[in-house]
Structure 1
Amino acid sequence: MPTLAHILVVDDDPAMRELIGDYLSENDFRVTSASNGAELATALQEHALDLVILDLKLPDEDGAQIARRMRETSSLPIIVVTGRLDEADRVMALELGADDYLTKPFSLRELLARIRTVLRRSSLTAATAMTTGRSADTRAYRFDGWELNTGTRRLVSPSGEAIVLTNGEFSLLTAFLAAPGHILTRDQLLEASRMYDDVFDRSIDVQILRLRRKIEADPSNPRYIKTVRGAGYVFFDQVEKIRSVSI
C-alpha cells in the first residue's frame, strides 16, 4: 500500500485552509494545515512533508522570507500562492526558489494539477540524486505504506496506527531502512544499537523477533526483515527517504 503524499497548506484564512485541505484529502493526499510561520516551523519538525503550499501574505512574517530560508536548507517543493497579479511578484516567487506559483483566486483543479506536476518532477530529481550518490539528512523513511519519522521516532502503519517502538527496535529498524537490500551482520546491527544499553549481541535476534511482530503480518514468514543464514539479516523492500527541512 503506497503512502499518501503529505501536503502542508500554509494560509492565514481558515476557510481557504479548509477548502484546500478537504479537496486534497478527497484526491488521496494527506494534509496538514498551518496559519502562520510558527505553526509552519512546528509542522516541518513533526511531519515528513512532500510539498508546501505557502501563501506569501501571513500575519506574523513575510512568506517570501520563509520561502527563502526554506530553500537555503532544503529542496522540499514549494508552491507559492499570492493575491497580487503583478509580474514582479510572480518573478520574485520563482527567484525565491519556489517550484511553482498560483495567483488568487485559482481553481482547485488547477492547484491539484500543479501539485501532481511538481511532485513528479521532485521524484525524478530524487531518483537522480540517488543514482549519482548525492544524499542529505533523512527526516523519515517510507516503505509499503509505513512511515518512520526519525525526528519524533514515530512509526505509523499503513492504516494510520501509531506503533510504539523501544529504543532498540527503533535503532534496528533505522539501520535496516538506511540500507535496504544490503545484508547486515549481527555485529553491524549491534554497532548501530550501541547507544542503547538494552541491546547486546545475544539479544539482537530477540530484538528483531519483537520488531517483526510489530511490522510483519506473519512474523514467522517475514516479508520485510529476512534472515540470511550464516550472514545476518536484510531488509527486503523498497524504501523512500524523506529529507530534513527547517526554517
Structure 2
Amino acid sequence: MTKEPPLVTILDDEPAIRSMLSDALNEAGFRTRAFARATEFEAALKTTTPDVCLVDLSLPDRDGLSLVHRLALEQGASVIIISGRAQVQDRVTGLELGADDYIIKPFDPAEVVARVRARLRNSSIASQSGQTAHFNGWTARFESYTLTDEDGQETPFSHAEGEVLRLFLERPKRLISRAMMQEMLGGAAGESFDRAMDVRISRLRTKLREDPKAPRLIKTIYGAGYIFLGDVSWS
C-alpha cells in the first residue's frame, strides 16, 4: 500500500497567500488543505491529522497565538507561524507558546517548503530512535507527548518541548551547544531562537521537578551549552 504524502494545513485569511502556499507545497509533493478562518480549521482537525500546520497570527475570528498553543499541546503536529508581525517579542512569544518555527511575511514560497521539509525530517529521524524513553524514574512517551513519574502521574509537553527533550535524551552526558540546537531543531538563529530555547528548557525543568537553581538532569554549562546527566534507555 502506497503511503500518502505528508499533509500540510494552511490557515491564513488572505486568499493569495493560501493559493501561493498551496501551489508551492503541492508542486513539492505535499498534500494541502487551506482554511480562511480558525473555526473551519478547528472543525477539520476533528477528522484530519496534519503533519505540519502553517498558521497566521492575524485571524478574523480567533487569536492566532492561543490557537498555536492549543495545537502544540493537543495535536502533536509541527506548527510553523507565518506572520507579518516582525517584532522580536512576537517571534519569541510564538515560539514560547509551542511553535516550532516562525516565518515573517513577505516570504519566498521556496523558503516555506524548505522549512516544512526540515520539520518533517526532524520528525522522521526522531521516530527511528523509538517513541518511549526511560530515565531517572521518568518515562517520556513521544507518541502521546506525556511525561510519567514513578507514581504514574502524567504531565503533557508540547511538540516543541518534545523536540528539545528528545535532543537531550538521544545525547546523554554530551555537551549540546546552542549552535547544535539551532542546526538540529531548525529555525532562524538569533535572539528569538535563543530566548525560545531558554523558555522550553525552563519548562522542561519545571515538568521534571528540577530545582531551577541547582538542576540535576539538565545542566547549563555557561558559555558553552547544556548537558543532560540522566541514564537513558529507549523502547
Moved segments of 4+, more than 6 Å = none
TM-score of the two chains, using structure 1 as the length reference: 0.52
In the alignment, structure 1 residue 50 sits paired with structure 2 residue 51: yes
Q: Give the distance between the partners of 2:143 and 2:115, measured in 1 at CA.
A: 26
Counterparts of 1:145-224 in structure 2 under 5 Å?
none
Q: Give the distance between the partners of 2:31 and 2:47, measured in 1 at CA.
A: 14
Q: Give the distance between the partners of 1:114 and 1:95, measured in 2 at CA.
A: 18
Deviation at 1:3, TM superposition (A): 1.7
Deviation at 1:135, TM superposition (A): 5.9
Query: In the alignment, which of 124, 137, 141 is matched to residue 134 of structure 1?
Result: 141
Partner residue in 2 for 1:77:
78
One-letter amino acid of the counterpart of residue 98, structure 1 = A
One-letter amino acid of the counterpart of residue 83, structure 1 = G
Report if aligned partners of 2:12, 2:55 keep a CA contact under 8 Å in 1.
yes
SS at match of 2:131: helix
Partner residue in 1 for 2:41:
40
Q: Give the distance between the partners of 2:95 and 2:130, measured in 1 at CA.
A: 22
Q: Which has the larger radius of gyration?
A: 1
SS at match of 1:46: coil
Deviation at 1:48, TM superposition (A): 2.4
Partner residue in 2 for 1:91:
92
Partner residue in 1 for 2:68:
67
Unaligned ranges ≥5, structure 2: 134-139, 145-235
- Structure 1 residues 19 and 62: CA distance shift in structure 2, 3 A: same
Partner residue in 2 for 1:21:
22
One-letter amino acid of the counterpart of residue 55, structure 1 = D
One-letter amino acid of the counterpart of residue 18, structure 2 = R
Unaligned ranges ≥5, structure 1: 138-247
Comparing 51-60 with 33-42, greater Cα deviation is found at 33-42
Q: Give the distance between the partners of 2:120 and 2:35, measured in 1 at CA.
A: 20
One-letter amino acid of the counterpart of residue 141, structure 2 = R
- Count of residues in correspondence between the two structures: 137
Q: Among the aligned pairs, what percent are the same residue? A: 36
Q: Give the distance between the partners of 1:72 and 1:27, measured in 2 at CA.
A: 28
Deviation at 1:129, TM superposition (A): 4.3
TM-score of the two chains, using structure 2 as the length reference: 0.55
Deviation at 1:86, TM superposition (A): 0.7
One-letter amino acid of the counterpart of residue 27, structure 2 = E
Report if aligned partners of 2:10, 2:34 keep a CA contact under 8 Å in 1.
yes
Deviation at 1:114, TM superposition (A): 0.5
Report if aligned partners of 2:58, 2:64 keep a CA contact under 8 Å in 1.
yes
Q: Give the distance between the partners of 2:132 and 2:68, measured in 1 at CA.
A: 28
Structure with more contact order per residue of length (Cα contacts < 8 Å, sep ≥ 6): 1
One-letter amino acid of the counterpart of residue 2, structure 1 = K
Q: Give the distance between the partners of 2:48 and 2:73, measured in 1 at CA.
A: 19
Partner residue in 1 for 2:122:
121
Residues 33-77 of structure 1, C-alpha deviation per residue, up to 9 Å, x if partnerless? 111111111221122211100001100011001011122223310
Q: Give the distance between the partners of 2:120 and 2:130, measured in 1 at CA.
A: 15
Partner residue in 2 for 1:184:
none
